[in-house]
Amino acid sequence: MRFTKILLACGLAGLGAAACGNDSELAPDGGAARATWYQDVAPIVANHCMSCHQDGGIAPFPLTDYEAVVENSTRMLHEIDRGAMPPFDAREEPDCSPRFSWVDDPRLTIQDKNTLRAWIEAGHPLGTVAEIPAPPSTTLSGITKTLVPSEPWVTSGDRDQFICFVLDPGNTQLEWLTGLQVRPDNDLVVHHAVITEVPPGAEHDALVAQRGIGKPFECGTATPGNFVVNVWTPGNQPMQTSSDIAVPILAGAKLVMQIHYHPANLVNAPDATAVDLRFSSVWPKRMYFVGAFGNAFQAPELLPGTSDAGTPRFLIPAGVADHRERMRITIPDLGATTDVRLFSANPHMHLIGTHISAKIERTAARGTDPKDECLANGAWNFDWQRTYQYAAPLEQLPSIAAGDVIDIECRWDNTIENPFVQRMMHAANLSAPIDVTLGEQTTNEMCLQIFGLSIPAPAEPAQRPATIELPTAFGEITVASLLRR
Ligand code: HEC
């Protein structure tokens, strides 16, 4: 009871921080109530908030000093409690809760939240002056090479554009990529980027002869090269892996960067998006690549939506607040590719999505894998897209094999109450919500899970070769489901 009184006294009297700090020695030992700015709260805010909330950061106001945090503390707690800050939309829900946690999960623990709450209730005690830790870096570390187009693309009009650039990493031998960061030059127009690898061979030679290096060309939604290295979406962290798992970039291979531009009538908006690469000298245990599942546009993969009459249709009617589409994708025969394990999940929808989940139904339990499990689940916020990496040992990552079914469900709110519907209407000059169908435009929707996949790397040879076999089966699934419309 004495403890409560102390908190009340601070709150009611509105005492200065130092006064409450002095009182805190009366609080029970070890309780969050003793929390001070320097000892407890600053490290939490530095670790979870300051990477964006700093001068020149992407957040609208800094939270780097005591005064700013005191001023915003109630708002901060509110945003944390409703799960909006720090932005991270993975959710553990009764219907779908993944077996593993996520790497770099920035959410506060219950203890952190209690500490912050108690500190606010105690009147923001300062504590003993100490250095505030540096916020975690959000840029790729150990960059080996940066590739930049030689010529920018200048967007125009209001139709979305798909522009490719052939980039040359200049490898003279096989290199293992463990980090990649796409850095948009003009983030008002860059909607997403897909990086593929084109190994040496006929396709490579024709591409380089026809397009040159670093020059923009229109490529539609079919990116050359079907080994997908990375998919970048706004808000994404850099792709970073340990040296145990890496993407093989073959000697002489080129990378193709396909950018989906959303010009939105911005006149003369040049963009030369850069790609940072980090190569590792270590021979990895597994190879990493990307495969997308979803965007099914018809039965049998697409199940009837909540607003369909008769045949399944990917259609989100105007005015419906909780429309759902579900698709079930059976993993085909993967040929020689065995021991395939998911490594990460990068959900993708467009503006008006609210929720996306993916489950797997295996033909049987396998090794450490249960028969059925939730692979990824979360709220959807177009502004905070990211790749979620499983925090699991490589040999325990969820496996997939022929005959397994990936079950994906997406939800949308196509009413005027959804601020993203308002944004879409504004971008497309509409006066009311419209029926939304599957497609690439910003006024279309998607329901896609872009999984990071991994297979065993070949044994390390005595001498590093120029080339190894790249699996392409998953690339084909991706391209097929996007283009069959
Ligand atoms: C990844 C970047 C990022 C991180 C990390 C982050 N924020 Fe934010 N925050 C933003 C941005 C950007 C906005 C502006 C609103 C928006 O875009 O959602 C914002 C807005 C806010 C707002 C104002 C919300 C409103 O609508 O009034 C509060 C309060 C806030 N953040 C608190 C926090 C706290 C507390 C943390 C740490 C626990 C945190 N943020 C971590 C980027 C971030």
> Tens digits of per-residue pLDDT, 447-480?
999 899 999 999 999 999 988 888 765 544 543 3
- CA of 295 from ligand 1 middle (Å) equals 31
**Residue nearest atom 12 in ligand 1 by C-alpha distance:** 59
Higher pLDDT, 314 or 308: 314
- pLDDT class of 267 with cuts at 50, 70, 90: confident
Instruction: Give distance in angstroms: CA of 59 to centre of ligand 1.
Output: 6
Q: How confident is the model at residue 355 (pLDDT cuts 50, 70, 90)?
A: very high
| Residue range 115-122: mean pLDDT, rounded | 96
- Ligand 1 environment, Cβ below 6 A: 48-49, 51-53, 58-60, 72, 75-76, 79-80, 85-87, 106, 108, 383
CA distance 111 to 200: 53
| Mean pLDDT value across the chain | 87
Q: What are phi and psi of 438, to 5 degrees?
A: -70, 135
Side-chain half-sphere CA neighbours of 425 within 13 A: 16
* Nearest-CA residue for atom 19 of ligand 1: 59
pLDDT of residue 322 exceeding 70: yes
Average pLDDT, stretch 133-160?
Answer: 90
Report the percent of the chain where pLDDT is more than 70.
Answer: 89
Q: What's the residue count for the chain?
A: 485
> What is the CA 221 to chain-centroid distance, rounded?
21
Decide if pLDDT at 13 tops 70: no
Residue 473: the pLDDT is 52
The CA radius of gyration of the chain, in Å to the nearest whole number, is 25
- For residue 259, pLDDT beyond 50: yes
In this structure, the number of other CB atoms found within 10 A of the CB of residue 119 comes to 29
CA of residue 226 relative to chain centroid, distance: 21
Nearest CA to ligand 1 atom 27: 75
Q: What is the pLDDT of residue 167?
A: 98
Residue 379, pLDDT score: 96
Q: How far is the CA of 51 from the centre of ligand 1 (A)?
A: 10
pLDDT at 47: 94
Spatial CA neighbour of 116 closest among 52, 45, 62 = 45
pLDDT > 90? residue 228: no
Give Cα 98 distance to the centre of its chain: 16
Contact 410, 447 (CB under 8 A): yes
pLDDT at residue 123 greater than cutoff 50: yes
**Is residue 195 within 8 Å of 234, Cβ to Cβ?**
no
Region 286-290: mean pLDDT is 89
> What is the C-alpha end-to-end distance of the chain, expressed in Å?
66
Q: How far is ligand 1, taken at its centre, from the CA of residue 16, in Å?
A: 26
Q: What angle (nearest 5°) sits at the alpha carbon of residue 250, between those of residues 247 and 251?
A: 145
Q: Which of 46-50, 292-296, 409-413 is predicted with the least confidence, judged by mean pLDDT?
A: 292-296
Q: How far apart are CA 417 and CA 433, in angstroms?
A: 10
Position 460 scores a pLDDT of 93
C-beta atoms surrounding 198 within 10 Å: 23
